[in-house]
Amino acid sequence: ARIDPEAAEAMPALAGIALSALSTARLVDANHAKLAIVVEPRDGLGRFLQVTGTLRASVAVLIPGRDPIPAGSATLSPKALRDAYRSAFLGTHYTLEMPLAWEGAESARAVSVSLEFTDALTGKAYPAQGTVPVVADRPAGR
């Protein structure tokens, strides 16, 4: 069936993905952290768009005076990405949680996150990157 050209032009289409400022990295000990990567796919008008595809993440910890240290990577398949969908009072997004580990006794100050989403329908890859500060994990009850 042919679609009306105006309707085709109005159909939502992925324009890019972004690493949200809601992303968090919590220090567990000197060389381990828990990272929650919050990803927001957006259409051409900047609105959230639900997507289907594969999300890949690579993370390096940043310690002053040292080169970036690889600390973790993850791949979410289309089904796993669907399971990572979240919608709450803070907005709609996808959340990828991953443990981080690195060599040395020095605590990281931030993590550098590199993302790539590959759309299952078009095969097109959409990159994103950003830095997330590392905060100390609070003991329970405080």
At 119 the pLDDT is 97
DSSP 55-124: EEEEEEEE-TTS--EEEEEEEE-HHHHHHTEEEETTEEEEEEEEEEE-SSSPPPSEEEEEEEEEETTT--
- pLDDT for 57-90, tens place per residue? 999 999 999 999 999 999 999 999 999 999 998 8
- Model confidence, pTM: 0.90
| Contact indicator for 39, 91 with CB cutoff of 8 Å | no
- pLDDT for 5-53, tens place per residue? 999 888 899 999 999 999 999 999 989 999 999 999 999 999 999 999 9
At 141 the pLDDT is 55
